[in-house]
A and B are shown apart, each in its own frame.
Chain A
Amino acid sequence: MSAAGKRKAGMSSSSQRKNNKLPKKSESKPQNRISLLKLPRVVLLEVVENLDFFEIVIFSLLSKRAKNIAKLIPWRPLTIRLKLECSLNVTLNIPNGPDETWSILYNNRGTSEVLHFTKLIDTSVDHSLSVKNNGNAIEDFKRIVENIYEVFQSPICRIDICDEQFVEWIIKFQPAARYFWIHNDVTSGETLDRVFKSLKGTNYFFSKSTITGEETTVTEPIPSRVIRLTYSSWFTLPLILNGSNSVMELYRSNLTPKDINTILKEWQMGTKLQNLEYLSIETSSEV
């Protein structure tokens, strides 16, 4: 994939963006057009291989046929991160590749219907593109993420959920990721129950949700290698003992000294907590 042709920030047709209008069809001269999909398959694939990430994403959104063509190319695996908070943001990096980050962002709390595509080299903007959509920007953003997943055939590596409205979509779309972060905006016990039952952070599960024991009914341990719970009052002794985690960091815990003693004994004897390598419990009870 080439990232040839550095561009200045912004779209080439800046006047068009200012007016938020798409160009009229007649503006494009016929001689500057080419019937791409009529090219032989091998040629078509070579053209698509020369596109940058944003162009591939946009191309794949144009039609099912275009998406299926983009899927035929064996792209290098990507590191994809998805952050669902007041700004919806998906970022793409090539592992061990150039220090470039490709980001697609939509300000969920704003009134704008514009998705911002930005390429960063280190921390400076290399080029950006604003894409206006005609309908529901959130749905468009979800579609973009699904297309990225499908076309580049790379699962999303890290998912941050700060907004409960996306939980059901994530459960349906990609219920397992290496890193799952649940932020403190997720405050419903019902949602957290859904999260723990249906989402799996294979490597890391981090919850900052301020939920308490009365609000949640979680009965199964969290099957992640590492768990870190900022508010763990709901995380009971059986959940700890029956877990297979390697690292557990529990803050604001309600465990009693007796509970902690049980944990340490079981860990020492090796009857439970056989995978545990590191344990940190912060509790208000005096040990």
Chain B
Amino acid sequence: MSSTEQGTSSAAPAEPTTAPESAAAPEVPESFYYVHGKDKVVHKVSAGALQHSALIHGMISNLGYTEEQAKANPFPFENIDGDILQMVVDWCNQHKGKPTPPEDTNLPKQKEKLFDLVLAVNYLEIKELLTYCCKQVAMMVKGKSPEEIREIWMIPTDAEDEAAEKEAKKRAGKEAAGETAAAAGDAK
């Protein structure tokens, strides 16, 4: 669980409600970090929850931030939509210090978000969540016919691939010609 706050990365986040601590909470106070996505909404996440992300874990492992420094410097993930980052943060909080079960019911079910979620999870290097997301993507085509699979996964035909390749080459050729012309113009 995590809380969010509308604002900019530089704004000090309001005191968020944190994930419930287990009865056997460590005596040493847990450190928290802050992350935000494209929407600049800041999420407060414990270091324990962030350990799921190899990327963030790597970033914070040697920072030694104080609480104040961490608040003042949220990790910016401008390439991740806010709602997607929220899902990821929620998942990390729910699985803090726990191994992921084989059938994870806490994974967001929205198929329309799955593509962005997979990209974000891959970027943040959350291996267990990525594995589960990949299973979800694979499950989308269970029992489907070839044409349905083509449609669900938006797989172009060979002819479409060839046409796209030709188009890309043509565009690249035009761009190169444009650059040459511009360079010649500059020279004059």
Residues of chain A touching chain B, judged by Cβ–Cβ distance below 8 Å, are 2, 4-5, 7, 11-13, 16, 22-23, 25, 28, 30-40, 42-43, 46-51, 55, 58-59, 61-66, 127, 129, 131-132
Residue of A nearest to B112 (CB): A31
Extra contacts, 4 of them, besides A43-B118, A55-B149 (Cβ < 8 A), are A2-B138, A34-B114, A36-B154, A59-B155
Using CB atoms, name the residue of chain A closest to B162: A64
Contact with A along B126-156 (1 / 0, CB 8 A): 0000110011011111111111111111111
Q: Are A35 and B145 in contact (CB under 8 A)?
A: no
Q: How large is the interface on B (under 10, 10 to 19, 20 to 34, 35 or more residues)?
A: 35 or more
Cα distance A4–B164 in the bound complex, in angstroms: 35
Least CB distance, A196 to chain B, in whole angstroms? 38
For the complex, what is the distance from the CA of A34 to the CA of B133, rounded to whole Å? 12
Q: Is the CB of A22 within 8 A of B142?
A: no
Chain B min CB distance to A62 (Å)? 5
**Which A residues lie within 8 Å of B138 (CB)?**
2, 47-48, 50-51, 55
Cβ-defined partner of A62 (8 Å) among B112, B135, B150: B150
* Measured CA separation A48–B156 after assembly (Å): 17
Which residues of the partner chain B approach A48 to less than 8 Å between Cβ atoms? 138
> Are B137 and A34 touching (Cβ within 8 A)?
yes
Q: Which residues of A contact B145 (CB under 8 A)?
A: 11, 13, 16, 22-23, 129, 131-132
Q: How many A-B residue pairs have CB under 8 A?
A: 121
Q: Could you say which of B119, B146, B158 contacts A64, with CB atoms under 8 Å apart?
A: B158
Query: Is there an interface contact between B134 and A46, defined as CB atoms closer than 8 Å?
Result: yes
Residue of B nearest to A40 (CB): B122
How far, in Å, is B29 (CB) from chain A's closest CB?
37
Q: Which of B14-46 contact A (CB under 8 A)?
A: none
Does B167 make an interface contact (CB < 8 A)? no
Interface pairs (13), CB distance under 8 Å:
A11-B144, A13-B144, A22-B147, A23-B148, A32-B112, A34-B153, A37-B154, A39-B122, A43-B122, A50-B137, A51-B141, A62-B146, A64-B161
Which residue of the partner chain, among B143, B151, B156, contacts A11 with CB atoms under 8 Å?
B143
Judge whether B122 and A36 touch: CB under 8 Å.
no
Supposing A28-B151, A34-B111 touch, asked if A63 and B134 sit within 8 A by C-beta, the answer is: no
CB–CB B135/A4 < 8 A: yes
A39-B119, A43-B122, A65-B161 known; A32 vs B111 contact (CB < 8 Å): yes
What is the bound-complex CA distance between A48 and B157, given in angstroms? 18
B108 to chain A, nearest CB (A): 13
Given the known inter-chain contacts A23-B148, A31-B112, please indicate yes or no for A66 contacting B155, CB distance below 8 A.
yes
